[in-house]
Amino acid sequence: MPTPNLPTKPCTVCGRTITWRKKWERSWDDVKFCSDACRRRRSSPDDDALEAAILTLLAKRPRSSSICPSEAARAVAGDDESAWRPLMQPARDAARRLAARGLLEITQNDRPVPDASRAKGPIRLRSPR
């Protein structure tokens, strides 16, 4: 969990929590990325498409049901596995960004994960309860 009392914000690329550090004292407002990898990757057009696909899929389902990130990857890239498989990690990142904005919950075994930044293994997505 993030250290109490320190400001946090979501990484604009992967949605993981960024916790304030002393070295960012003067530049905190400009901090956008959690890591050099995210700084290099930046955002791609797929990212917005994946966020939109997740929200559309959730809107079509009953509030009690959930979706798999792969459904969003398929919605964006099509059903050919070689096309949607590379979008699985970007789909999970998109889910974290949306969760950070309170637009969905990330669950494992039907329970919300306390810290989506560190969730390992398969996740599902549902509308906030």
What residues make contact with Zn ion under the rule CB under 5 A? Answer: 11, 13-14, 16, 34, 38
- d(CA 25, CA 9) in angstroms, rounded, equals 14
Minimum Å gap between C-beta 11 and Zn ion is: 3
Amino acid symbol at 73: A
The residue with tokens 């509030």 is 63
Minimum Å gap between C-beta 58 and Zn ion is: 23
Q: Which is nearer to Zn ion, 13 or 53 (CB)?
A: 13
Q: Which is nearer to Zn ion, 45 or 62 (CB)?
A: 45
Amino acid symbol at 60: K
Q: Which is nearer to Zn ion, 34 or 67 (CB)?
A: 34
The residue with tokens 């057009």 is 45
Strands 124-126 and 66-67: antiparallel
Q: Which is nearer to Zn ion, 18 or 104 (CB)?
A: 18
Minimum Å gap between C-beta 33 and Zn ion is: 6
Within its chain, how far is the Cα of 95 from the centroid? Answer: 3
Specify which residues 67 forms β-bridges with.
125
Minimum Å gap between C-beta 90 and Zn ion is: 12
